[in-house]
Structure 1
Amino acid sequence: MAKRGENIYKRKDGRWEGRYIKERKVDGKIRYGYIYSRKYVDVKKKLMLVKAQTLKSDDLQIAYDGTLGDWLKLWLETIVKPRVKLSTYNGYKSKVQLHILPHIGTILLKELLPTDIDQWLLQLNKQLSSSSVHAVHRVLKNALSQALKQELISKNPTLMIELPKLEKQRVKAFSKQQQKMIKAATIKEEKYLPILIALETGMRIGEISALRWTDIDFSEKTIHIQRTLQRLQVGLGKTALIEGTPKTFQSERVLPLSNQLKEYLTEVKKTSHSPYVVGIKDSCTEPRTITYRFKKLQEELKITPLPFHSLRHTFATRCLELGVNIATISSILGHTSTKMTLDVYTSSFMQDERKAMEKIAAI
């Protein structure tokens, strides 16, 4: 049996038939196009792609009678996927499948109301943090903004919706004593090199995994960050290591190399047989292996475990404590703006703020 708005039917010969409006003539007559396959999913996918190309014509806007779920799938495959990185697409798809489709995916797109969004958000608030709720809402808002542009809906019901107040999360960094313990351990074993690089440069784990020896200029003492490595979903139940460009335009940057790190890397390079700084033979060491080794190291040192990203926060925190200006820190970290750096590390300024207050009081 066909689902409402799909126009997909099973024929007597066992094949599935998908029908779409191919042309609407001036006299009002409609000419249909047809898609056939032995598999229902194949017809549905092809039909979605064809509908995306024929949603609008010069003479007439074709009405869209699909559900919100139908539109979201269409939006992901035909608009999002061709324009963004695979990691971004996977993130959008995950949010749609986990948090949108199960709750409001069956509502007809043209009948979706702000009250539906409100009720959905109330449910999300019970399951997710405020920042995650904002992120999921943003995906739905973007999808419906595109539907509005294509005149499939008259207004975007996600607008003017009251979202939960964002709570600033305190950055977790290692103490100076813990940092010394970690650094001492990393120097002893080469397999901990990624940890040392993160502590000394503030680089992201994907940037460290993708770092090649050709990215390091030992004479100029610089590191050129121009790629990142991630394990991403590439199919149903399948993942692959994907090497791509850094997170943002600002993330592609050149970092100064300290004398101490330069000397250590020079020694490592002498025995390296890989094009990657952190690698074995012709291959790199992927992020999940680095994460596992870092977890084991913390257990051995009996340090309260923190994620690998906390090494980046530790680097930034030490910079702040040493009085490095915010613009320099922002540039080193590859943030899109100094505002982002300030927002992330607000709590780290408390010591400086306290000193300022004492100075004012002493006048």
Structure 2
Amino acid sequence: MAGIDNISNNGLGNQSIGDPMEVFKNFSAEDIEKIKVLAGLFGIGSSNTAQGQIVQQHVKEQVTVEQAFNEYNKLIEFNLSKKSVDTAKTAERRFLTYIPGNRALKTIERKDAENLMMKISKSAPLGCYNYLKIFRTMFNVFVDWNYISSNPFLKVKLPKRQKEDPVSFTNEQLNIVYEGLIAKGKDVIADMVLFAVETGMRLDEENNLRWSDIDFRNKVITIGNKLFKTKSKKIRRIPMNDKMEEILKRNSARQLNKGKILREFVFVQSNGKQYKKDTVSRSLKKVIKENGLPDELHWHCLRATAATRWASKKVPIFTVSKLLGHSTVNVTTRFYANVDLDELRDAVNAM
């Protein structure tokens, strides 16, 4: 066969072969690809045979960083949300900025991981903490796949972050952005702002809210369905108050007035199509900037505003956690910082 003839001898001749894995080290990358093809033709690529196990083990040891990332992306695209996939791919691009994609995955050591995180922490001082979590999870998968024997990111540590209070909107700031959006003819996005503050919903959840999720009779809003998965992968229900109902009915009438017979999503563009999340968040950010409001304010702060309001009204933390759809109550505790401060002030003044 031509394929066999083209494989370089590498000085092996017909000498006796000892450790098969040592033999593989003498072949070039091009030769390895030919061996993989030939192994498949002769049926020795199966893990049921000793030869197949040798071939498969060597193939795993030759996996490059880029190849491993591509395989990992196939996995997460199947079982994670689009936002999580996009975040992982952003982390991968950061990784490849400092470590070449053609480098063998098995050669990445703890020192490489530490150097990588030091560099990323300089260019992304806030995002580096999330990137480290992603790398740990990713390389744990590579260990499970037997691509590597241990996770080089497992013991990498970053300086502890100082916990800051969540940023929320004041009533005055909310009125400013609402009126600013109305003035620009963005009535639907203005309603989405108010709805986020009333419900504590994430932007992705609002954007994917369907009329089939709305139960006006029992006054219940269901978040999550067969077509849309929440961040926690759990369906939750929010009781509908009068302000929520008013916003929903206003948008229902708005769609009917435009002749939208086949309605699906609650918050839609004038042409009846679903909004892009970036369009919604950028619209708010533009109004924030034009009115000289703090630059730290953004869409997710609307959700924090809802949580802070509930906390200030002494709503039990477990209830707030359920309304927000948090994975654990620990995530919710940060919204009670100001409430605790008021209690501490009362205690000090009582002395």
TM-score bucket of the superposed structures, by smaller chain: 0.7 to 0.9
For structure 2, which runs of at least 5 residues remain unmatched after alignment?
Answer: 1-25
1:193-212 maps to which residues of 2 (within 5 A)? Answer: 193-212=191-210
SS of the equivalent of 2:78 reads: coil
Q: For 1:218 and 1:339, how far apart are their aligned partners in 2?
A: 33
Partner of 2:78: 82
Q: For 1:119 and 1:163, how far apart are their aligned partners in 2?
A: 11
SS of the equivalent of 1:160 reads: coil
SS of the equivalent of 1:172 reads: coil
Partner of 1:253: 236
Shift of 1:266: 2.2
Structure 1 position 357 matched with structure 2 position 329: no
1:66-215 maps to which residues of 2 (within 5 A)? Answer: 66=62, 68-100=64-96, 102-103=98-99, 105-130=101-126, 132-182=127-177, 190-191=187-188, 192-215=190-213
- Residue identity (%): 21
Pick one of 214, 222, 225 that aligns with 1:224.
Answer: 222
For structure 1, which runs of at least 5 residues remain unmatched after alignment?
Answer: 10-16, 23-30, 35-53, 229-242
Question: Is the CA contact (8 Å cut-off) linking 2:73 and 2:85 kept in structure 1?
Answer: no
- Which range is displaced more, 195-204 or 64-73? 64-73
Partner of 1:291: 281
**Distance verdict in 2 for CA 1:107–1:356, change over 3 Å:** farther
Richer in helix (by share): 2
How many residues align? The count is 307
SS of the equivalent of 2:222 reads: strand
Partner of 1:276: 265
- Which range is displaced more, 190-199 or 65-74? 65-74
Q: For 2:30 and 2:243, how far apart are their aligned partners in 1?
A: 66
Q: For 1:57 and 1:71, how far apart are their aligned partners in 2?
A: 25
1:235-246 maps to which residues of 2 (within 5 A)? Answer: 244-246=228-230
With structure 2 as the length reference, what TM-score do the two structures score? 0.74
Question: Is the CA contact (8 Å cut-off) linking 1:186 and 1:196 kept in structure 2?
Answer: no
SS of the equivalent of 1:154 reads: coil
Partner of 1:321: 312
Question: Is the CA contact (8 Å cut-off) linking 1:99 and 1:136 kept in structure 2?
Answer: no
Question: Is the CA contact (8 Å cut-off) linking 2:181 and 2:284 kept in structure 1?
Answer: no
Partner of 1:333: 324
Q: Which structure is higher in RCO with an 8 Å CA cutoff and minimum separation 6?
A: 2
With structure 1 as the length reference, what TM-score do the two structures score? 0.72
Q: For 1:224 and 1:76, how far apart are their aligned partners in 2?
A: 32
* Alignment RMSD (CA, Å): 3.3
**Distance verdict in 2 for CA 1:58–1:97, change over 3 Å:** farther
CA deviations over 1:183-212 (Å, ceiling 9, x no partner): 577789733211111121111111111222
Say which one has the larger Rg.
Answer: 2
Question: Is the CA contact (8 Å cut-off) linking 2:81 and 2:231 kept in structure 1?
Answer: no
**Distance verdict in 2 for CA 1:148–1:57, change over 3 Å:** farther
Partner of 2:293: 303
Question: Is the CA contact (8 Å cut-off) linking 1:67 and 1:105 kept in structure 2?
Answer: no
Question: Is the CA contact (8 Å cut-off) linking 1:7 and 1:20 kept in structure 2?
Answer: no
